[in-house]
Chain A
């Protein structure tokens, strides 16, 4: 829509066109860029190639084969030297779930907080599993984010590929791992009598995955590039991992925080501002319709993910020159 060669096109329309095309990764943006009158170009002090986010997105798309190679290589390496191989992908979340069920389910009796009431189909166990599995995707990606570029230093300094593919490969690789854990989830769903809805499967599940992918990618882009210059990031990540786990309603239903009198309002608002909260509420909403995020939480998680992605990408591009020198 916005790429008609006319300066009469309102700049807002072109900005939207730029953004839309950037998301869908295309040549459109280049056109939009040339068509946009100079005064409405938002990034005044940037060179055209810096704004050509789209052409980079296109380059990443053209290199999707490389991404899949990297992902497959990592999976191969991971499963090659272990006897149980694929089984580990299921055993690890199972063990974690067992521990959390023991602590929170039995000792602290978190059952009462499960969205939809005590007798919601699936109970606390399914709640736990359906939160833990996608959390592992995020958590492992977060852990590997600082090393995403450093571990490929040799490759990056000898081969010309868009550097973005390495963070992208981390997030995609962990996503594939997450998909591999779905059999576990389904076993629990069937044995515990979990129920889903059309809305859950067609709205919340895809939306949760897309938003989580965007958020993880933003974080990975940010951390991988900053960590090359300032190695403190690796330490920060460990803390972040722990804090976000408890801050994102993965094993503790969000209602226990939001509907409790223990916390002041500002704390609850802060809690709701965490984009991961909405993401995991969506993951839970697939099986517990009562946990569906409200408009505010939904907007903080979608908006937060988009902002994170933008910040991550801009930082990545800005630091690229120095990162390459330091690798």
Chain B
């Protein structure tokens, strides 16, 4: 069997509560990042002990509440965060659809930015030349705007241009973080079509999203991240079900707690009255 495209083993990352600011310079130079600066536990692990494998051609959705480290996980796969524990191996080039405006320089024109960012992501000049018109058309940039500095663009235009550009990448692995939530309806539909097309060539995708529809549309497999751990690794429907069940339970818990509080309060009132 072929090797998995993404292989995470015991992945964990920690952040210091006090953001390391209190460390003296001396300590930092001597110990680097090796020595733990806050031995009293002023640190937290947004993610810990995450292990999974993704085979080629799979589309995996990551679900979970806000702040459970979904994006952090994606960033570690993308290699832009270094895990403190475990390792993640990615076999193949990665097209990161994490922050679509990244790398755009406000002073340069749209055309120059497309060439700059495209080349940063490893596109050749020839490829960019060939696809330039496609990119502009996809991004739906009005005539003339492409030769204007990007600082005059609306935020929507920048994101559209970013998506149009990165969706032209032919890298075998795609990491997508919530970017489908941008743009108007027409553009969204175009994005869906583009992603579907990209997935056809046996490419691998990891998608982080809060939209059930998006997840169900693309993904076959779901990872449910709960409290910094991988709670479930099943098909997307079961992961979503588990997530929804947890959310529901939590809400009920909250309601019950509130009711409890109210009762207590009114109880106290009664006591006083008595």
Show the binding face of A for B, using Cβ within 8 Å.
45, 65-66, 69, 73, 76-77, 80-81, 154-161, 226, 229-230, 315, 318-322, 324-326
Chain A contacts for B21, CB-based, 8 A: 229-230
Task: Tell me which of A66, A80, A230 contacts B120 (CB under 8 A).
Answer: A66
Are A159 and B103 closer than 8 Å at their CB atoms?
yes
Contact of B32 among A158, A318, A326 (CB under 8 A): A318
Distance between Cα atoms of A324 and B33 in the complex (Å): 12
- Check if A325 sits within 8 Å of B81, measured CB to CB: yes
Q: Chain A residue with minimal CB distance to B29?
A: A315
CA of A159 to CA of B19, assembled, Å? 23
Given A76-B112, A159-B121, the answer on whether A154 and B33 have CB atoms closer than 8 Å is: no
Contact with A along B1-40 (1 / 0, CB 8 A): 0000000000001010001110001001100111000000
Which 3 A-B residue pairs are closest in the complex by CB-CB distance?
A318-B32, A160-B79, A158-B102
B102 touching A76 by the CB < 8 A rule?
no
Query: Which one of A45, A230, A320, A322 has the greatest number of beta carbons of chain B within 10 Å?
Result: A322
Give the chain B neighbours of A320 by CB distance below 8 A.
33, 82
Is the CB of B244 closer than 8 A to any CB of chain A? no
Chain B min CB distance to A170 (Å): 15
If the complex has contacts A76-B108, A229-B20, A321-B84, are A159 and B102 also in contact, measured as CB distance less than 8 A?
yes
- Which of B58-66, B91-99, B187-195, B229-237 contacts the other chain? B91-99
A residues near B203, Cβ cutoff 8 Å: none
Query: How far, in Å, is B27 (CB) from chain A's closest CB?
Result: 11
- B82:A321 contact, CB within 8 angstroms: yes
CB-based nearest A residue for B81 = A324
B194 to chain A minimum Cβ distance, whole angstroms, is 19
> Contact at B28–A73, with CB atoms within 8 Å?
no
B78 touches A160 (CB 8 A): yes
Q: Is B107 an interface residue (CB 8 A)?
A: yes
Given A45, A155, A324, which contacts B102 in the complex, CB threshold below 8 Å?
A: A155
Q: Which of B96, B107, B112 contacts A159 (CB 8 A)?
A: B96
Contact B29 A157 (CB under 8 A): no
Interchain CA distance A315-B28 in the complex, whole Å: 9
CB-based contact B32/A73 at 8 Å:
no
A321 and B33 form a contact (CB under 8 A): yes
Per-position contact with A for B159-185: 1 when CB-CB < 8 Å, else 0?
000000000000000000000000000
| Extra pairs beyond A76-B112, A158-B103, A325-B15 (6, CB < 8 Å) | A66-B119, A66-B120, A80-B108, A155-B103, A158-B96, A161-B120
B99 adjacent to A158 (CB under 8 Å): yes
Minimum distance in angstroms from B133 CB to a CB of chain A: 22
The reply on B242 being an interface residue by CB < 8 A is no
Residue of A nearest to B115 (CB): A69
For A318, give the chain B residue with the smallest CB separation. B32
**B116 CB contacts on chain A under 8 angstroms:** 69, 73
The answer to whether A80 and B107 touch across the interface, beta carbons within 8 angstroms, is: yes
CB distance from B38 to the nearest CB of A (A): 12
Q: Are B105 and A229 in contact (CB under 8 A)?
A: no
Q: Is B274 an interface residue (CB 8 A)?
A: no
Min CB distance, B167 to chain A, in Å? 15
* CB atoms of B101 and A155 under 8 A apart: no
A321 to B15 CA separation, bound complex (whole angstroms) = 10
In the complex, which residues of chain B have a beta carbon less than 8 angstroms from the beta carbon of A156?
80
Q: Which residues of A contact B84 (CB under 8 A)?
A: 321
- Give the residues in chain A near B32, CB-CB below 8 Å: 315, 318-319
* Residues A322 and B105 in contact in the complex (CB < 8 Å), given A155-B120, A156-B80, A158-B98: no
Name the distance in Å between A111's Cβ and chain B's nearest Cβ. Answer: 43
For the complex, give the distance between the alpha carbons of A80 and B151 in Å.
Answer: 14
The verdict on A159 contacting B29 (CB below 8 Å), with A73-B105, A154-B101 known, is no
Q: Are B28 and A157 in contact (CB under 8 A)?
A: no
Closest approach, in angstroms, between the C-beta of A112 and any C-beta of chain B? 43
Q: Which partner residue on chain B sits nearest A322 by CB separation?
A: B33
Q: Do residues B96 and A160 form an inter-chain contact, with CB atoms below 8 A?
A: yes
Q: Max chain B CB contacts within 10 Å: which of A69, A157, A160, A325? A: A325
Residue from A76, A156, A157, A159 having most chain B Cβ neighbours under 10 A: A159
Q: Are B120 and A154 in contact (CB under 8 A)?
A: no
A172 to chain B minimum Cβ distance, whole angstroms, is 16
B216, CB-defined interface residue at 8 Å? no
Question: Which B33-76 residues have C-beta < 8 A from chain A?
Answer: 33-34, 75
In the bound assembly, the distance between CA atoms of A45 and B102 in angstroms comes to 36
